[in-house]
Amino acid sequence: MVLYEMARDAMKLLQKSDNIELIQKLMDIQKESLEMFEENIRLKAEIRAFNEVKTLDEDLEFRDNCFFKISNGEGPFCITCWGKDRKLIRMQIADDFALCNVCKTGTCFTNE
């Protein structure tokens, strides 16, 4: 953001000089630096989201046709929803059967 502020300060100085062409060029630089700043924020958010999914993916264990978290044993989670949309959806358990309420995937479940 320092680049944007420097351009803004230079713009104030140039406005006193009354050089329209130079002012326009500086405005272009200011606009471009703001676009780069916004893209940088967006890319950092994408990287953060990717790293969160990667960390979660490494914490999942496949067992009984479901996923369980290795770190705390939570589960079962739907393999279809995780594989398709990277959404960790907890499955509902009834006796020896686990069912995903989102995609309706069901599987026999031993609950061990």
Residues 105/79, Cβ–Cβ less than 8 Å: yes
Q: What is the pLDDT of residue 8?
A: 74
Residues 61/49, Cβ–Cβ less than 8 Å: no
Q: Is the pTM of this model over 0.75?
A: no
Number of H helices and E strands in the chain, helices first, is 3, 5
Query: What's the pLDDT tens digit per position in 16-65?
Result: 777 778 778 878 888 888 899 999 999 999 999 999 989 999 999 998 88
Query: In whole angstroms, what is the distance from residue 71 CA to residue 61 CA?
Result: 10
Query: In whole angstroms, what is the distance from residue 6 CA to residue 14 CA?
Result: 12
In this structure, what token pair is assigned to residue 39?
């893209």
